[in-house]
Amino acid sequence: MSVFSDPTNRDVYVTGFLWILKLTLASSVCALVLGTLLAAMRVSPVPVLRGFGAAWVNIFRNTPLTLIVFFCYFGLYSTLGFTTSNDLELNNYWLGVVGLSVYTAAFVCEAIRSGINTVPAGQAEAARAIGMTFRQTLTSIVLPQAGRAVIAPLGSIFIALAKNATIVGTIGLMESSNAMKQLINDNGNAVFAIFFVFAGTFAVVLIPTGYGFGWLADRLAVKR
């Protein structure tokens, strides 16, 4: 454990996990918004939108995340010239957020769509019977009930997202996995201690998060 008493090493460790936190927060917001939109598309009466939603899910859900993040750097940034910031780290950070968001949105979309299936057909029929449009039915009748039904699966998706965030290390952000690599390279004699501290940090943060989502799901469930 003496590795972590050195302030420089501690700084590497803390910065690494701060990047993970920032990546997870920004990407979960983007993925939630994007995923909900995609779910709405997939149940909409417009065939083009349905096709677009289905294509998105099938493409991004079945592509390895490493490739998506890698493409964000070498495709989106290198070849197409898409930049978000002149600062190298920030630019890589936002490219990472783009990659994580488009990938996670596919899973969020499928979770919400399965939630929509738990809402009894009578609810949507009743809404239509009193003259509500598709948009009104979706936003004020179906989605609120569907959302409450899928809090637990969404929790799993966000926990997976937090761990997936380490993949942004492949395009050079000094997040936790790169921080771990650096510490191991400098302190070859404490490989196991370093490894378990990094793995333990994830476990200590994510296990309570999982229970938190479980508790929230219980509380907000639609009692039928």
Partner 1 sequence: MRITRLAATFGAMALVLAGAACGGSSDKAGGSGSGGGASGIVGKAAGGKLTFGVKADQPGLGLQTGSTYTGFDIEISKIIAKGLGVPESGITWKTTVSANREAYIQQGQVDVVVATYTINDARKQKVNFAGPYYVAGQDLLVPVNSTITGPESLTGKKVCSVSGSTPAKRIQTDHKDAQLQQFDSYSKCVTALAGGQVDAVTTDDIILAGYASQPQYAGKFKVVGKPFSTEPYGIGVKKDDTAGCNKINDILKAAATDGSYKKAWEDTLGKSGKPAPELDTSKLTNCS
Residues in contact with partner 1 by CB under 8 A are 1, 74, 77-79, 87-89, 92, 169-172, 174, 178, 181-193, 195-197, 199-200, 203-204, 207-208, 211
Q: Rounded to an integer, what distance in angstroms lies between the CA atom of residue 103 and that of residue 30?
A: 11
Q: Rounded to an integer, what distance in angstroms lies between the CA atom of residue 215 and that of residue 221?
A: 10
Nearer to partner 1, 46 or 199 (CB): 199
Nearer to partner 1, 120 or 212 (CB): 212
Nearer to partner 1, 125 or 218 (CB): 218
Nearest distance, CB of residue 186 and partner 1, angstroms: 7
Nearest distance, CB of residue 98 and partner 1, angstroms: 16
Nearest distance, CB of residue 150 and partner 1, angstroms: 21
- Please answer whether residues 168 and 92 qualify as being in contact, where contact means their C-beta atoms are separated by less than 8 angstroms: yes
Q: Rounded to an integer, what distance in angstroms lies between the CA atom of residue 224 and that of residue 215?
A: 18
194 closest CA partner among 206, 181, 175, 204: 181
Helix axes 191-220, 151-164, angle to 10 degrees: 160
Q: Rounded to an integer, what distance in angstroms lies between the CA atom of residue 127 and that of residue 85?
A: 46
Nearest distance, CB of residue 2 and partner 1, angstroms: 9
165 contacts: CB under 8 Å, gap ≥ 6? 19, 20, 23, 24, 27, 96, 100, 175
Nearer to partner 1, 43 or 184 (CB): 184
Nearer to partner 1, 160 or 205 (CB): 205
Nearest distance, CB of residue 96 and partner 1, angstroms: 13
